[in-house]
Every structure is written in C-alpha cells, then in structure tokens.
Amino acid sequence: MQKVDVLTAAYLRDNSRFADLVNVLCFGGKPMIHPEDIRDEDSAELKITRSGDRTKTKKQYRDLIRRVACGMQFAMICVEEQSYVDYAMPVRVMSYNASRYEQQIRIKKEEHRKKRDLRGDEFLSGITRDDRFLPVITIVLYFGKHWDGARDLKELLKMEELPSQLQELAGDYPIYVVEAGNFPHAEQFQTDLKQVFGFCQYADDKEKLRAFVEKEQEALSNLSEEAYDLISAVTHTEELEKMKKEKQTGKEQKDMCKAIDDMLADARTEGKESGIAEGRISGIAEGRISGIAEGRDEGRNETIRTFVKYYLEEGDSKECICQMLQKMFSIDLKTAEKYFAK
C-alpha cells in the first residue's frame, strides 16, 4: 500500500497531470487550472501542542499537496491516495486539514509578533479580525470501484437517540471521494490519466480491457515510466512491468494489444503457473481468478502456491492472502493455511 502511495505522489508531481486531475474532478473538464498555476508546497503537517512549559510536536506527511492559483486567489489542493477503504477517512481528512490551517495561523502569528502590531483581543488571539487564510481542499483518490465507507463526519457519529436540536448543532465534515475504478468521466482527461483510470475500470473484465487497449493503443504504446509503474502496482498487471523493461533496454517491444492477448490466452491454460496472470489483471478487484477451476488438481495446487509466494513477496499479510484464497479458489481457511507450510 505504501508503494502505491509513493508511486501516485511521483506520478502526480507532474503539474500537467495535477492540473488535468483538478480540472476534470472539480470543473467538469474545463481548463480552469494550468500547469503554470501550480506551486510546490511542503507536504509535512506540523502539529505543536503546548501545555505549561512542555511542548509536544508531531510531524506527518500528506500524499500530495500543491498551492494552486485560481485567478487572483490561491488554494491548497491535496490528494490522498487510497488503495483500501479507510472507514475513519472523514476524521483523518479533517485532522490533516486542521493541521494545515494551524500551520498557516502559526506563520501569521509570528508575523504579527515581529511587527508588534496587535492590541486587545487581537493580541490575545495572535491574529487580527481581518486576517484570512488559504482554503485547504482534499481529494481522496480511491483506486477501487466502490467506496463503502463514510463520506462525511456525521456518518460516523451515533446520533439516533440524540434530540434533533443537538443533532443539528453537531458539526459535519464532508469529504470528496473519487472512485478511479468507477469514475464516469475518464474520457475528459487530456493526459495519460485517461489510461490510468481506464485500466482501473477494466482490469477485472478481460473483454472490456481488450476493447479499451485497442482504442487507446497509440497512447498506451507511449506511456511514461511513471504511468507504467502506477498502473502495474494498482492493477497487479505484471505484463506492463515486463514491457517497461523491454522499452528501457531497447529490446523489441511487444504490442500492447498482443501483450493483453497473450495474458488472457495464458490464463486459460490448465492449471499452469501463467494462469495466475489473468487473476492479477482481471480477478483481484472482485476476488476471483478465471480459468483456474478447469485445471487439474496438481496444476491448481501449483497455481495457489505461486499465488501465495507472489503476494508474500509483495508484503501482504498471511491473513489478507488467506482471505483472497478463500474467495478466489472456494476453499476454507484451514485448507488455505496449508499452502503456507514449508
């Protein structure tokens, strides 16, 4: 999961992609933000708590944050990548954004302290009545299809038996979640975000994936290294990693459509190790691997052992892998655990 976080941040550091993402998600595809409107912003969130003569500090990092010019106004736009549904996401986003506002207030207080220009309540507050701060906007970019977690703070609050007057007073905090695997306007992207979102949407449907690859063949044949890496990590499409290496070493490159065809053909062979390839591209998101059931018992066992080895090397936990095995191969927990035996 951390790998996808890093790859997403590296991918979106390109200002053209970041502008494209914001324009489509926030402005319906209208070119309101341009690459030159975007400035780097320190992603560290600093939290400082003072109690008497003791000072506690905490430093955490956001996935990506940029200072964006919107006409004459600036805003801080943040992207939080999610490979899984975080059921506490509204509180997490609220905490991140609050830290960024606190950081802006600390800077403003220091400016006033140096100027010594405050009196009365303004002196006690540390800022003036007219001071204003940059809005902090967070986009939660989820690489799955269906976010079933809360989308605002009130969904996490137990208020059924609370008087309506108090329910109204309980503050809310909505978050903006984008499901990359289920986003209906991917065609509006002007950069290779179109291909990234497309793979997320069709990775679990071999026929739709094949049609998408044919349609986007030219763009896919010229994908950047960052796009290759991100798609490969998010959709577990190992063939893309091989194609990237061929491209880097100057070897004869396999056509993207042919590569997908080969993957799908391999996945239909009986119980062979290559059968796992289709599972990586078409089965992980929905928890199934097609073509495995027809394999002989020994071929099936070899496939499962290969599957376990691969995801252990990827850093997945035994518990997570066992859950996938139960869903994909219709086996019970006890049987799944046997495949971890040396």
Q: Same domain, yes or no, for 76 and 215?
A: no
Q: What is the C-alpha to C-alpha distance for residues 35 and 224, in angstroms, rounded to an integer? A: 18
Q: Same domain, yes or no, for 144 and 209?
A: no
Q: Which of 114, 146, 181 is the last residue of a domain?
A: 181
Q: Same domain, yes or no, for 168 and 219?
A: no
Q: What is the pTM of this model?
A: 0.70
User: Strands of 38-40's sheet, edge to edge?
Assistant: 38-40, 64-70, 73-82, 136-142, 176-179
Residue 191 resides in a domain: no
Residue 192 resides in a domain: no
Q: What band does 208 get if pLDDT is binned at 50, 70 and 90? A: confident
Q: Same domain, yes or no, for 141 and 252?
A: no
pLDDT at 289 over 50: no
Query: 74 lies in which domain range?
Result: 2-181
Q: Same domain, yes or no, for 176 and 217?
A: no
Q: Same domain, yes or no, for 209 and 174?
A: no
Q: Residue 342: count other Cβ atoms within 10 Å of its Cβ.
A: 2
Backbone phi, psi, residue 52, to 5°: 65, -125
Q: Same domain, yes or no, for 213 and 319?
A: yes
Q: Helices 238-249 and 225-235 sit at what angle, rounded to 10 degrees?
A: 160
What is the amino acid identity at position 98?
A
Q: What residue has token string 């998600």?
A: 25
Residue 317 resides in a domain: yes
Q: Same domain, yes or no, for 142 and 224?
A: no
- Determine the length of the chain: 342
Q: Same domain, yes or no, for 22 and 71?
A: yes
Q: Tokens at residue 239, please?
A: 């063939």
Rounded average pLDDT over 11-27 = 96
Q: Same domain, yes or no, for 130 and 232?
A: no
Q: What band does 247 get if pLDDT is binned at 50, 70 and 90? A: low
pLDDT at 49 over 50: yes
Residue 193 resides in a domain: no
Q: What band does 330 get if pLDDT is binned at 50, 70 and 90? A: confident
Q: Which of 149, 181, 213 is the last residue of a domain?
A: 181
Residue 67 resides in a domain: yes
Q: Same domain, yes or no, for 111 and 161?
A: yes
Q: Same domain, yes or no, for 218 and 290?
A: yes
259-273 pLDDT, tens digit per residue, is 666 655 554 443 344
Residue 131 resides in a domain: yes
Q: Which of 133, 152, 181 is the last residue of a domain?
A: 181
Of 303, 277, 205, nearest to 331 by C-alpha is 303
Residue 189 resides in a domain: no
Strand 54-61 with 64-70, pairing: unpaired
pLDDT for position 29: 95
Q: Counting Cβ atoms within 10 Å, is residue 186 exposed (0-12), middle (13-18) or buried (19+)?
A: middle
Structural domain total, the chain: 2
Residue 196 resides in a domain: no
The overall average pLDDT reported for the chain is: 81
